[in-house]
Structure 1
Amino acid sequence: MQIINLIQHTRFSTAIAADRGSVGNSESYRCRCLNVCSQIFELELWSCRFYQHRKLRIQNWLLLVTMLALAIFVVIAIYSATSSRSDPYAADFWRKQANWVAVGIFAFMVTSLIHYRWIRWGALPMYLAGIVFLILTKFIGTKVYGARSWLHLGPINFQPAQLAVVAGIMVLAIFLTQFREMHPMLRLLLSGAIAGAPCLLILMQPDLGEVIIWIPVLLALWFVGGLPLRYLICVILIAIAFIPIAINFGLKPYQQQRITAFTHPDIDKQGSAWAINQSLIAIGSGGWSGKGFKAANTQIELGFLPATAVHNDYIFSAIGEQWGFVGGILLIGGFAVLLMTCLFVAFFAGDQLGLLLAVGITALIFTHIFQNMGMTIALLPITGVPLPLISYSGSFVLMIMFGLGLVNSVWIHRKIPE
């Protein structure tokens, strides 16, 4: 029907052009022209709506459904993990998480419909805002677990490090795309400076976990961005050489105790190794199918797992205890589907910028998953890194869903011009 209308509009405007010489009344002629223009405008408006509807239809539904499934699951998991606690503030965690999930879904959809190439206009302001917030955190931030990493701005409480990391990925993707002809060493140094500025500020908090997150993300962007492999190998070897120096001279005493608890968990079971051992006990006691939803007499209810962190850093321990091996495997499987979908989008990206954005966000999510789950099962030292879409953290959920929105935008616009 719309095509027929288009043909009619074309014929009508042609007839006007043919009759122009025979029309004596100029007012009548102007009215007819305005009528044609208004109809053409309506057609253009319909085309824009059709364009947006097409975007909704061709989005990556597997990515959206997997993200929603994980987000719904976490609300249930947080409710189950905190319902047995006497603290009334903790009983409200699942509602707050649900609200942040709703905001995150909105951010995901808006970001998906905007062409990802438009981030060239917003990436740098976001990056600079993250730097400014990190500087403010140093002076007016709130200290939690020994790190001054939280910033209160009115009713909003968030971690600027998470904004800086996502914005940093965007800026790095733009830089590596636009300066492909630059000398590899100069690209390496300048991109390292882009990543190093927020890393240095995060390290001053100190929040070692978020700094560690940057390393595999930056390496992935360098590799996909076309930097020679020999440069990457040199960077990795230099980083490995500095690890003993950093552990002995660069870490705070409590951070060194965490590493000691990781390497020798039997030395101080009642002290620095307490959290690791209780996490292992909680996961192991869940057995095959877990103790059940809102189960009683759990490590969570009895207070053996840190009550202040069971809903965020140790949420996987709570899931392992209440949902068992089956629940843990289903969660890992959901993450695997999410990551593989993001890599699939990266493979079919329309240009280098889309490829780098998808790879950067995928590396960010994977590193968080690996580090969080690794520390709860004693494969890695405790670093306080949240589990994407699962841990209780409003700003982190929002940033991850925003990043996934960028990935979805890469998929939607892979064949659509800017």
Structure 2
Amino acid sequence: MIQSGMDPELFEQFIDQLERYVRERLIPAEREVIENDSIPAPILTEMREMGLFGLTVPEEYGGAGLNTSQYARVVRTMAYAAPAFRSIFSINVGMFNSAIKNGATEAQKAEWWPRIAGGEIACFGLTEPGSGSDSAAMQTTAKPDPGGNGWILNGTKRYITNAPQAKVGLIMARTEKEALPKNAHVSAFIVPMDAPGVSVGSADKKMGQSGAQIADIILEDVHVPGDALLGGETGKGFVFAMKSLDNGRISVGAASTGYARRALDSALRYATERKAFGEPIANFQLIQQMLAESETEIYAAECMMADVTARADRGENILRKAAAFKVFASEMCGRVVDRVVQIYGGAGYLAEYDAERFFRDARIYRIYEGTTQILQLQIAKHMLRDFAAGV
């Protein structure tokens, strides 16, 4: 199925407006975000009014109806500013919306799409204290409610992005001890975060990405109605989650690419202003080498993003390529910010300069939505499977 998305001319106008907003509004607000570890309420209101929380929701449900290529460009544009600004809406337009699109009933779409398009913040509950990529180790359970047609959920989810602000969570839970086919024991539930029995832990202290809050979600005898089961069918939760993660990995890859560009622009400016031996350090060839290597790698990531998102819009299976893009872009961003610290020299180690923050912020990109190592295993597994099948 081909995703047409927003009218191209209108979308380019939107991107131009967004770029100005990032530079004129978001970047000046970064210090406040860092000091308070939260996004200012007025900016959240502005983001809702701009429609950022419903970018990929169909127009008939109140969203902008962007296709994957357009969505990734918005993420890359927003990621030029502090990561918190992308993080707050990324679950809505990425994993949560993807799961609703791929697996929800018509009634669930009618209820939740307008709500998230209107700015209700969503979270995605897969990871647990003892399980992340390994769904077989999942401990959260959903058992039929003996008093009705609903379910009772118990368990803990860990490192959940936006949990402190979320109004709704897509929670993965075990509905069977084990089941075939593989992972059919996991189902997905749409859970309002104000449901009795749902509690959220204190926001975790992190290495970087100030303002992008994560926390535990604790579920204690949480009663949800039967229509909270995504798609109305058990055993599909892990499938929905994995399809959603393709979208999430594109988001992280796009964010890595946008933030690497921000860091490189900063280094370029510093190298032309900072003088040593009577001339700008930008004149030194080994500084130029680091700048050129960074530009080359960012361009490669931009090309990967354009390719994988175009394939997604054509309806192709992008599991392997989305994983490859996320791996390359996140590792690339890590290399770029490391070079940026080196270009800044001693100043790059000081908190008063941006290079130190770029270095800390970028580190998580190689971990969440699938670590580099897990994704490398996944890529290789699918390569070997396709080879054996003669594909």
TM-score, with normalisation over the residues of structure 2?
Answer: 0.29
RCO greater where, 1 or 2, for CA within 8 Å and sep 6 or more? 1
Structure having the larger proportion of residues in helix: 1
TM, length-normalised to structure 1: 0.28
